[in-house]
Structure 1
Amino acid sequence: MPVPAGLGRAYVLASVFVCAACGLVYELELVAMATALVGDSVTQASVVLSVMVFAMGVGSLVAKRLRCHAAAGFGYVEALLALVGGGSGIALYASFAWLGQATVALVVISFAIGVLIGAEMPLLMTLIQRIREQDAGGAVADLFAADYVGALVGGLTFPFLLLPFFGQLTGGLLTGAVNVLAGGLVVQWLFRHDLPARTRRRLLAANGCVLLLLVGGSLCVEPFERAARHAVYGGDVRVAVRTHEQELVLTGGTTPEQWRKAGELRLFQDGRLALRGREAHRSGRALVRPAMTGGPHGRVLVVGGGDGLALREVLRRPGVDSVTVVVPDPGVVRLARRDPGLRGLNGGALDDPRVRIEHADAFRWLRERARGDAPPFDVIIAALPDPASAADPKLYSQEFYGLAARALADDGRLSVPGGRTAARPRAFWTVEATLRAAGLRTCPHTPADGGRGYLVARLPGPAAEGCDAGGGRFAPGRPPVPRGPAPDLPPSTLMHPRYPD
């Protein structure tokens, strides 16, 4: 050994620490990327973790055949793991962009990374015993201690350092570069006398090629993302920005006149269609007007709606004194203020002096507000995505509606989207059942020219009786949707979310 045995063990354990941190970054990157591309974070996390843990068992069995060449085996495993794990984000994004799906790629990549991570520990056990013989229990304890501490550091590094400062793709590639350096240096330096000269040169060439690929890939991330966006959204991508919360993409022209040539304006949030230019005002009116016509509306709360469309409809009603907008991502508000297309749709509503914007999680904001003596709201508008595709199901839970009810005046109204009634009637009626479970009286309605359903809810009382209590503006000439009585469905709660993607 080029160093004393104690120092050699420390180097091996440091390598275990770094490799474990990199391995957990790969897992978190796959979960985050799959959730952004496919949705349903619970399912994606379950697929990644279960496949990866199973594959780790397979990798441990495979590593038994490499113990006679533990140093070379570990060097090749780390080089391959750095290449597969570091490039996993790019591979998953490419599969989604050009093949139209990411599930198969997610399973294959998770399995490959799991096999390689599982092969690490038997090889490291063999290497650390070569430095200095000790009982198996003590060696395993040392290795797992370094492994678990490294996993902690990797788990914290991904959301607080890599994701905000480098993004998913570049962060993954840089993690792979650290991984190949950590594994290669230990093998090439500490165990170089265990390797024949030819094997050492081959391993050095493999590590060098992987490192060059990862560094080169990090330099090409921007053109790759641009090409992938064009493959996903078409060639009319006009704006693409990454905020701390999500990726925002705008396509199409900035005015209705330009939509004929450059395509209709569309806003995508993490790949999900959040806004269409031709439907923007229609959906805003359907969500806002029924609640605003049913009584006082001087104080209004808008949950979500960072694009300003629901806010525009609110401010068009006379008698509005103040509007509070609670939106978690300031990047959406910034884009809606600056982009001429979105600003043309919202009419500059976000800059109205009556508007106060709070950048916060709506659930937490309402919960903290309930502890004080703040005046109630006359109207609450939940300008949220459809429940079946919402990334934050707690905003469609019984607990959230209960907090909203506490923030309402006695004759206040809460307006909630229920999604497309024809495509997902169960999700719509689950919203209705959840509102009733929170102690609210509901009125389902559908705009005369659309297939989306909405619900207006009130606190129990005389004003809540019947769907015509809000001025008779609910779907003129049409019954509540869908036709027939509402099915008896369980409500959605924090512990039992009921909105599958």
Structure 2
Amino acid sequence: MSLFLLFFVVVMTASGLTYELLTASLVTSLVGDSVLAFSTIIGTYLFSLGCGAYVSRLIKGRFYILLVQTGLAVGLLGGFSTTLLWILFSWGSGFFVGVYLLLFSIGSLVGLQLPLIMRALKERLPFKELVSGVLGLDYAGAMLVSVAFPLFLVPQLGLIHTAFCFGILNVLATLGFVFLYDDEGRWNFLKVEGFTALALLAVGVFASNPVAELTEQNLFPDPIIYAQSSSYQRIVVTASSNDIRLYLNNNLQFSSLDDYRYHEALVLPPLRCVREPKSVLILGGGDGLACKLLLQDPRIEKITLVDLDPAVTALFRTNPLLTQLNKDALSSPKVEVINKDAFVWIESTDQKFDLALVDFPDPSSYSVGKLYTTYFYRLLRSRLNPGGAISVQSSSPLRAPRSYSCILATLEEAGFKARPYHCYVPSFGEWGFSLATVDQVNEFYPCNIEPRFVTEEVLPTLFVFSPDMKPAKSEPNTLFDQRLVRYFRQDWDSASL
């Protein structure tokens, strides 16, 4: 009995932490801002553990029935947690109330269980063995999950099935306790409750995929043709009769109806600042659409594409619909794909490039904001050949003026000669870029790409801004004070009012 109760501690701790991580990961993938999500969710969960532990002092007499029922309740709530939150998010209201209410409920029940298990063990183990055994296994269970969660559970099972697996584990461990302790048949009603919970979770495992697909489809205007949760993000591709769209964590990355506008604006201005572009670096851009454009220029001998997520580059290298869109650019012998963190890679490489295209997501979190800092841009500048140029996607100068100006100020602080420019992309609205060169460039050189949008006549107009897009005053973004993230959140919060 003592060994089983100690095993029960491991299951309880591991499952509770798993539900906490699942909730934080789901919130991050749906609404972004991983720092805020993980901080508030961890805080709420720890607080609820304390509340549950405190309430346990009020429980008198025999408590084994309550221990069993809390175990079953944790299994049911935790198992269905991710599915319930998916449904709440698709409804469009009550999502955050549901997140913290569900998390507090699970944490309180887990916090209640630990003192009850210690009471059950106190008659079987000396006090010092009791405390060291329970707390040691508590921390061991947490360590086990923290390693398995990102390396195996989420990549192999996904968020929804991971929740159900741990819910079933909770219920099985609780039923094991019932059968082990009840040798006189007094707890048959608990066995019925346990098998009922197990049956509900089993149904949930098989019904969760259709439910998740239905609720996720409600988030997008066009039918979903591909969806996957990678180690880094939720990847969704939708398609209609004339449009293919990529969403990462529910944020639109491109629409095939107008992606040429965005990518020509990203590629052609810096390309035309370089007299003889032979080597090109693309940071981000795992969809291969910028590669497709660059491969039209025979002067380019080598393209190095650094994208964090191998799931994205694999998708755009193998999916027939998407390879048709990017003209199989990622399989070109001229293209080398490297799946690493761009920040780490740029620090470690000694390669030199004539041109760099920086196509990162918007700086809505500190993990992305580091890629827009003076430190990063100085590193990037040191990887350019004399006469080199870069372009940076820089959010909207109309909706996020301080963010846009901050990126320009950061490039200049890093030693670049920076110029702002913009274009209209129907899917995004007015969108901004930054052109930065190592040396002063006073002319645009010819290139061998036939544009659909950025023609000879249109190119100069990209650098003309209307009065309502007048740059705002901003300070450079540094690694140790990522003010750009604050600017970005404030800009878009104001734009949404």
Are positions 1:456 and 2:442 aligned together?
Answer: no
Q: What is the alpha-carbon distance in structure 2 between the residues aligned to residue 292 and residue 161 of structure 1? A: 42
Matching residue's letter, 1:405? R
Q: What is the alpha-carbon distance in structure 2 between the residues aligned to residue 469 and residue 139 of structure 1? A: 77
Q: 1:166 is matched with which residue?
A: 157
TM-score (norm 2): 0.88
Report how far residue 52 of structure 1 moved. Answer: 1.2
- Which ranges in structure 2 are unaligned for 5 or more consecutive residues? 446-455, 490-497
Are positions 1:496 and 2:482 aligned together?
Answer: yes
Q: 2:166 is matched with which residue?
A: 175
Q: 2:271 is matched with which residue?
A: 292
Of 184, 201, 208, which aligns to 2:195?
208
Deviations 1:184-241 (A, max 9, x none): 3224413x37xx955x122212211111111221122321222122212245222223
TM-score (norm 1): 0.87
Q: What is the alpha-carbon distance in structure 2 between the residues aligned to residue 393 and residue 479 of structure 1? A: 25
Are positions 1:246 and 2:233 aligned together?
Answer: yes
Number of corresponding residues = 471
Are positions 1:382 and 2:361 aligned together?
Answer: no
C-alpha change, 1:285 and 1:404, in structure 2 (3 Å) is same
Of 75, 84, 87, which aligns to 2:77?
84
Report how far residue 288 of structure 1 moved. Answer: 0.9
Out of 329-338 and 103-112, give the one that drifted further: 329-338
Cα pair 2:288 2:316 within 8 Å, conserved: yes
Report how far residue 146 of structure 1 moved. Answer: 1.3
Report how far residue 340 of structure 1 moved. Answer: 4.7
Q: 2:249 is matched with which residue?
A: 270
Are positions 1:17 and 2:3 aligned together?
Answer: no
Q: 1:125 is matched with which residue?
A: 118
Q: 2:140 is matched with which residue?
A: 149
Q: 2:391 is matched with which residue?
A: 415
Report how far residue 244 of structure 1 moved. Answer: 4.1
Supply the RMSD in Å over aligned alpha carbons: 2.5
Q: What is the alpha-carbon distance in structure 2 between the residues aligned to residue 430 and residue 317 of structure 1? A: 32
C-alpha change, 1:206 and 1:314, in structure 2 (3 Å) is same
C-alpha change, 1:78 and 1:108, in structure 2 (3 Å) is same
Matching residue's letter, 2:384? L
Q: What is the alpha-carbon distance in structure 2 between the residues aligned to residue 73 and residue 13 of structure 1? A: 18
Q: What is the alpha-carbon distance in structure 2 between the residues aligned to residue 302 and residue 397 of structure 1? A: 17
Q: What is the alpha-carbon distance in structure 1 between the residues aligned to residue 237 and residue 59 of structure 2? A: 51
Q: What is the alpha-carbon distance in structure 2 between the residues aligned to residue 327 and residue 60 of structure 1? A: 45
Of 346, 351, 359, which aligns to 2:331?
351
SS in 2 for 1:233: coil
Q: What is the alpha-carbon distance in structure 2 between the residues aligned to residue 277 and residue 56 of structure 1? A: 48
Q: 1:106 is matched with which residue?
A: 99
SS in 2 for 1:297: coil
Matching residue's letter, 1:281? Y
Cα pair 1:444 1:480 within 8 Å, conserved: no
Matching residue's letter, 1:126? R
Report how far residue 318 of structure 1 moved. Answer: 4.4
Matching residue's letter, 1:285? E
Cα pair 2:423 2:430 within 8 Å, conserved: yes
Q: What is the alpha-carbon distance in structure 2 between the residues aligned to residue 316 and residue 400 of structure 1? A: 29
Of 220, 230, 233, which aligns to 2:207?
220
Cα pair 1:421 1:481 within 8 Å, conserved: no
Cα pair 1:445 1:474 within 8 Å, conserved: no
C-alpha change, 1:297 and 1:486, in structure 2 (3 Å) is farther
Q: What is the alpha-carbon distance in structure 1 between the residues aligned to residue 34 and residue 269 of structure 2? A: 33
C-alpha change, 1:44 and 1:72, in structure 2 (3 Å) is same
- Which ranges in structure 1 are unaligned for 5 or more consecutive residues? 1-7
Q: 2:404 is matched with which residue?
A: 428
Q: What is the alpha-carbon distance in structure 2 between the residues aligned to residue 167 and residue 476 of structure 1? A: 43
Q: What is the alpha-carbon distance in structure 2 between the residues aligned to residue 438 and residue 319 of structure 1? A: 29
Cα pair 1:327 1:360 within 8 Å, conserved: yes
Q: 2:494 is matched with which residue?
A: none
Q: What is the alpha-carbon distance in structure 2 between the residues aligned to residue 65 and residue 477 of structure 1? A: 70
Q: What is the alpha-carbon distance in structure 2 between the residues aligned to residue 360 and residue 366 of structure 1? A: 10
C-alpha change, 1:58 and 1:410, in structure 2 (3 Å) is same
Q: 2:47 is matched with which residue?
A: 54
Q: What is the alpha-carbon distance in structure 2 between the residues aligned to residue 494 and residue 336 of structure 1? A: 35
Out of 313-322 and 276-285, give the one that drifted further: 313-322
Matching residue's letter, 1:431? I
Report how far residue 112 of structure 1 moved. Answer: 0.9
Q: 1:475 is matched with which residue?
A: 461
Q: 1:439 is matched with which residue?
A: 415
SS in 2 for 1:220: helix
Report how far residue 104 of structure 1 moved. Answer: 1.9
Deviations 1:300-331 (A, max 9, x none): 01111111111122223342121111122233
Report how far residue 275 of structure 1 moved. Answer: 1.1
SS in 1 for 2:59: helix
Matching residue's letter, 1:332? V
Cα pair 1:303 1:327 within 8 Å, conserved: yes
Q: What is the alpha-carbon distance in structure 2 between the residues aligned to residue 497 and residue 203 of structure 1? A: 55
C-alpha change, 1:97 and 1:58, in structure 2 (3 Å) is same
Q: What is the alpha-carbon distance in structure 2 between the residues aligned to residue 407 and residue 83 of structure 1? A: 54
| Identical columns (%) | 28
Report how far residue 30 of structure 1 moved. Answer: 0.9
Q: What is the alpha-carbon distance in structure 1 between the residues aligned to residue 476 and residue 419 of structure 2? A: 18
Q: What is the alpha-carbon distance in structure 2 between the residues aligned to residue 271 and residue 72 of structure 1? A: 44
